[in-house]
Chain A
Amino acid sequence: MSSIKSYKPGRKWFKTIVCKVVMVILGRAFQVFSRHDHEIKNEIAAWPEGFTLELNVLPFGPRLLILKEDGKIRTVGEIDEKPELSVNFKNIESAFLILTPLMGVPRGFAEHRFIVIGDVAKAMAFTRCLNRILAYLYPDFLCRNLMRRIPEINFMKRMSKRLYFYTIGIVTGS
């Protein structure tokens, strides 16, 4: 009998859970700041009603689904159809790098860490929204590594919105 054994790879549970948690926070942040930030509101105003977007880690997830409904953004569990815009991380390590956030979206895209399926113009608008969301969530020293230029947002506004999100918005989602 052959001594060669087959190998069934296990899962990277810790990184999967961390990615899931960050996705939940990001989804909540998008939902909250799409109601409180004028620029983000303007960006999503151009998206059609019912527009869906997903962040997904190949092949097993986790996955974040976002829907535009009544002019607002909200996270949803499942939808029947294929999302109109998909950002698929090629593996859990790539997702972990970008979501934790050790690497910015432009660098991640340059390094082929994810692929985008869908309308590129909407992907560009989503990236601009993401830059503003990250600017609210993280301090400058982190943002400098994540984006080419930190969005110009009034300091007091940025601090107060950050405080609001981490105390109320993250719980209520509004």
Chain B
Amino acid sequence: MLPSYYEFYNPVKIISGSKALDNIPYELELLNAKRPLVVTDKGVENAGLMKVFLDSFKNSGIEIGGIYSDVPPDSSNSVVKAIAKIYREKECDSIIAVGGGSPIDTAKGVNILVTENSNDLMEFEGADRLKKPLKPFIVVPTTAGTGSEATLVAVIYNEEKNVKMEFISGYLLPNLAVIDPRMTETMPPKITAATGMDALTHAVEAFTCLQKNPISDAYAFSAIKIISHNILNAVKNGKDQKARLNMANAATMAGIAFSNSMVGAVHALGHSAGAVAKVPHGVAMSVFLPHGLEYNLEKIKDSLGELLLALSGPEIFAATPKEKRALKFIEDLRRLQKQLFDEASLPMTLKDAGVTEDMLGTIATKAINDGALMMNPEEMSHEDAMKVLKKAF
């Protein structure tokens, strides 16, 4: 059913498949860019992915203006400023982010500063503060989970004020997302499982929360179908390029979905568990997803029931009575969780993820103040959050 009003925006060109990286020089020319700055992190470099990336520029005539490979795990204000300085010194004209959420968000921050010719990100914090297109920006994701290559948000930590700054603007979306299976094939099984569950959560919450709309639904549904068919193969055999490519595509699709239909309680709880107990985001999503869905069940029965077709296939969907499909979805999700635990030791409980019982109260307090709760179909009080946390513990 159509909502009474919705908005959908995704201008990102996506190129995906074998040797996709080798098309970047051509795409740069289309963007009228000749001297990109590359933003990445040590993890990408140590995994040998930069060599694959840089090889794709051989014979292209494009000169890379600079490579910054020291992005920390949490994007920060000072790093963004330092990279913007390098961009100016090296006279670059475009930015390529290679990596997961942190290099991508950092590059988005750099793009704001170099386009606006500013040194103060705070000026642009908040929603819709940017008023003009940014410099050409290309993203090469190396994890199949965050979907940052298709989102209009960047979160950057401000060390001076000890706050996380959030930037939301359509101009933050990259011009191009490059999905090349070679860039995700070195991910270890546990990270593959966690990032895959992150993408699955993006899609499930986009489909079931208050901002859902028919176009984001289409992306979310397809993403869930692809993830359910490929996540175990990608975990069991990292070199399976088909499974890797499918997972990376699903993550991008889920990113497009949740960029246009915001996530809910699972993310609110996950962000808070990450902030309080340093639970990795993908792990938190995997732990909280079934509990969050159970909590929302009365409000999302119909939409979650529809997703059983994507998660479990047509036979199971047809054999399950309509009123039992939502519960069956959660049951099959738990089965997948167990398989990922067996194959990759992906934690199933908060306790396994390193959370102690005395942290639950602080996590609950943070969760009810997280913006993601605004789009959750069910209201969540501190007491409700505690109940969910105790179940997940």
Chain A interface (Cβ < 8 Å from any Cβ of B)? 106-107, 109-113, 115-118, 120-121, 123-125, 127-128, 147-149
Per a CB cutoff under 8 Å, which of B4, B5, B127, B374 touches A106? B374
CB closest chain-B residue, reference A119: B163
Q: A106-B210, A111-B5, A120-B369 are in contact. List 18 more A-B contacts (CB 8 A).
A: A106-B375, A107-B210, A109-B210, A110-B3, A110-B210, A110-B262, A115-B128, A117-B129, A118-B126, A120-B166, A120-B370, A121-B370, A124-B373, A125-B369, A128-B368, A148-B377, A148-B378, A148-B379
Contacts of B89 in A (CB 8 A): none
B211 contacts partner chain A, Cβ-Cβ < 8 Å:
yes
Contacts of B368 in A (CB 8 A): 124, 128
Shortest CB-to-CB span from A14 to chain B, Å, is 22
Distance A107 CA – B5 CA, assembled complex (angstroms): 10
CB closest chain-A residue, reference B5: A111
B188 contacts partner chain A, Cβ-Cβ < 8 Å:
no
Contacts of B373 in A (CB 8 A): 124
CB closest chain-B residue, reference A113: B5
CB closest chain-A residue, reference B126: A117
Interface size on B, residues (CB 8 A): 25
Per a CB cutoff under 8 Å, which of B128, B211, B369, B371 touches A110? B211
| Residue-wise interface mask of B (2-45) relative to A, using a CB-CB cutoff of 8 A (1 in contact, 0 not) | 01111100000000000000000000000000000000000000
Listed from nearest, the 7 A-B pairs whose CB atoms lie closest are: A121-B369, A149-B379, A120-B371, A148-B379, A117-B126, A110-B211, A110-B210
Distance A109 CA – B376 CA, assembled complex (angstroms): 11
Contacts of A118 in B (CB 8 A): 126
| Residue-wise interface mask of B (109-151) relative to A, using a CB-CB cutoff of 8 A (1 in contact, 0 not) | 0000000000000000011110000000000000000000000
Distance A124 CA – B210 CA, assembled complex (angstroms): 16
**Is the CB–CB distance between A111 and B6 below 8 Å?**
yes
CB closest chain-B residue, reference A109: B374
The number of A-B residue pairs with CB atoms under 8 Å apart is: 52
**Is the CB–CB distance between A124 and B211 below 8 Å?**
no
Offer 29 A-B interface pairs, CB within 8 angstroms, sorted by A. Answer: A106-B374, A107-B210, A109-B210, A109-B374, A110-B3, A110-B211, A110-B375, A111-B3, A111-B6, A115-B126, A115-B127, A115-B128, A118-B126, A120-B369, A120-B371, A121-B369, A124-B370, A124-B371, A124-B373, A124-B374, A125-B369, A127-B374, A147-B379, A148-B299, A148-B376, A148-B377, A148-B378, A149-B378, A149-B379
Distance A113 CA – B234 CA, assembled complex (angstroms): 41
Contacts of B127 in A (CB 8 A): 115-117
B369-391 CB contacts (< 8 Å) to partner A: 369-371, 373-379
Contacts of A128 in B (CB 8 A): 368
Contacts of B211 in A (CB 8 A): 110
Contacts of B210 in A (CB 8 A): 106-107, 109-110
Contacts of A111 in B (CB 8 A): 3-6
Contacts of A125 in B (CB 8 A): 369
Contacts of A112 in B (CB 8 A): 5, 7
Distance A107 CA – B166 CA, assembled complex (angstroms): 22
Contacts of A106 in B (CB 8 A): 210, 374-375
Distance A101 CA – B378 CA, assembled complex (angstroms): 20
Distance A148 CA – B299 CA, assembled complex (angstroms): 10
Contacts of A149 in B (CB 8 A): 378-379
CB closest chain-B residue, reference A90: B128
| Residue-wise interface mask of B (276-309) relative to A, using a CB-CB cutoff of 8 A (1 in contact, 0 not) | 0000000000000000000000010000000000
Distance A109 CA – B211 CA, assembled complex (angstroms): 8
Contacts of B374 in A (CB 8 A): 106, 109, 124, 127
